[in-house]
Each structure stands twice: as structure tokens, then as C-alpha cells.
Homo-oligomer: A and B are copies of this chain.
């Protein structure tokens, strides 16, 4: 059981790294197995298919993410608007570290997979969408608190939260295309300037 759990974990972490660093299609099961020191038979004992592995990796990463720097960034102790900066910083340092290590900016695993797979696999698309929805909720929370504290004028906090997430993903996309994490640093802070006003009551 201990050994088994370890094998499964090794597959997951290896697959996550490879998918993130390259792409879903570009990484073969054989390669994952080799790097994880696992035989093919073992792999297919734990995962019915590559597709299922992808979903497991998404869940795994989402979990790590939610309990990792996203949890830190959106820590209630921080002033709401500072959480946005914290989030941007976290993205920057993460991408910078990855680039220093591997030479390339991997970008956001969810964004990557979304654009690569979501036209072909409805289930995976929905899965990634759920991750985004959850992330957006954190922004939403922070915005509501900021408004409540009088840090910013009232606005459509839900739409703005989604817009901020979109912006963050867009910045990461552009930074990856330039292979330059500094883009995140330069453009990221402007996330606070995004505003969608409340629909005027009829």
C-alpha cells in the first residue's frame, strides 16, 4: 500500500512536470514511465488511459495550487488588494524559477491544457473550467472585501474577478510566448486597474 501509493504519486508528479514543461500530446506514456521508474503494466494498473491520467494530473495540480501559493496569496490576513499583487508576484517567481531551471517558461498548466485539449475533450474542458471558476471565486472574495473596506468603488465584482483571472492568464500566455518572466512583473500589477462597472438598475 505504501509502495503502491508511492508508485502512483511518482507517476503523477512526473506526468505533471512533463505535461507542464511541454504538452499533453508531446509526452508519451513510455517517457513518463521511464522517468518515474515504473513499468507500463503498473501504469495501466493505476490509470485506465492517458486521458484519465490527464484528469488526475489536473486534480492533483489544482489541489497543490489551492493549498499552495493561492492559499497564501488569498490569505484573509492580507489587505484584499494586496492579495492581487501577492498573486502576481507568486506567478512571477514561479515562472522565473522554472525558466532558470529548464530554460523555458512553462506557463500555466491549466491554460496550456485548456487550449490544447478543450476542443477535443469535453470532460477535460469542464474540469479545467471548474478550476478557473474556483480561482475566480478567490478574486471575487477579495474584491468584495476591498469594496466593503472602502478600498475601491463599488463595481461588478464577479465579472471583474473573472476579468482579472483572464488578464493573469493572458499575461502568462504572452510571457511564455516571449519566454520572458519579466513580462509578468511588468504587466501583472495592472491587474488592479481592471474594472467592470455594475449594470445600472433598470
Known contacts A22-B119, A119-B106, A193-B193; A174 and B165 CB within 8 A of each other = yes
Docked complex Cα distance between A194 and B107 (Å): 22
- Chain A binding surface SS class: helix
A116 touches B112 (CB 8 A): yes
Binding site for B on A (CB under 8 A): 21-23, 25-26, 104-107, 111-112, 114-120, 125, 128-129, 132, 159-160, 162-163, 165-171, 173-174, 176-179, 183, 186-187, 189-190, 193-196
**Known pairs A115-B115, A166-B167 / 17 extra A-B pairs, C-beta < 8 Å:** A21-B119, A23-B25, A23-B116, A25-B26, A25-B116, A104-B119, A107-B115, A112-B116, A114-B177, A115-B116, A128-B177, A167-B167, A167-B194, A169-B169, A169-B174, A173-B173, A194-B194
Q: Chain B nearest CB: distance from A1 CB in Å?
A: 36
**Which residues of the other chain, B, contact A105 by a CB distance below 8 angstroms?**
119
* Count of this chain's copies in the oligomeric assembly: 2
